[in-house]
């Protein structure tokens, strides 16, 4: 699983896990109270997470991590258990998405403005307000150049 560091959007912090019987490792387990722990990069032991758990059905559970659970860059491992169920381990990677990813995302949601009078383009984050890049054209001797800031 790949997560953005300190992800603020709740739905992007979801982990789905199938809980099965601890004896036959096949039979779906419903009605469980899950215990979720995580070990983060450079950590030496599992610690409790600030999660909310929702049973989706047929032994499938949605585990929603808290943004604070995703504060440390690097590899992590979730340990999800419950009485009578086999413990599940889910590897995760917490990354800081590069500015270029934000630019691509902004381009996909059309968060770009253009001033006709000056030819200046602004690429904005998906909030529509924060300017990620300004593209300014200039002309000298019949050659148009573009500077990015």
87 in the same domain as 29:
yes
Say what percent of the chain tops pLDDT 90.
Answer: 57
Determine the structural domain holding residue 21 and report its residue range. 2-95
Tell me the CATH number at 19.
Answer: 2.60.40.10
SS (H, E, C) the chain: CEEECCCCCHHHHEEEEECEECCCCCCECCCCCCEEEEECCCCCCCEECCCEEEEEECCEEEEECCHHHHCCCEEEEEEEECCCECCEEEEEEEECCCHHHHHHHHHHCCCEEECCCCCCEEEECCCCCCEEEEEEEEEECCEEEEEEC
108 in the same domain as 91:
no
User: What's the whole-model pTM score?
Assistant: 0.66
112 in the same domain as 65:
no
pLDDT digits (tens, 9 = 90+) for 111-136: 667 777 778 888 776 667 777 778 88
105 in the same domain as 85:
no
Mean pLDDT, the chain, rounded, equals 87
107 in the same domain as 90:
no
């Amino acid at each position: 699983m790949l997560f953005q560091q300190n992800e603020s959007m709740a739905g992007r912090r979801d982990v789905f896990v199938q809980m099965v019987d601890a004896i036959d490792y096949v039979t779906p387990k419903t009605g469980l109270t899950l215990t979720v722990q995580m070990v983060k990069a450079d950590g030496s032991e599992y610690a409790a997470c600030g999660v909310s758990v929702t049973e989706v059905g047929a032994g499938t559970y949605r585990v929603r991590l808290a943004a604070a659970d995703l504060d440390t860059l690097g590899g992590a491992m979730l340990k999800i258990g419950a009485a009578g169920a086999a413990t599940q381990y889910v590897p995760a990677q917490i990354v800081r998405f590069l500015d270029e990813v934000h630019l691509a995302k902004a381009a996909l949601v059309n968060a770009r403005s253009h001033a006709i009078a000056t030819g200046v383009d602004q690429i904005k984050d998906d909030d529509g307000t924060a300017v990620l890049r300004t593209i300014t054209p200039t002309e000298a001797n019949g050659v148009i150049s573009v500077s990015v800031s």
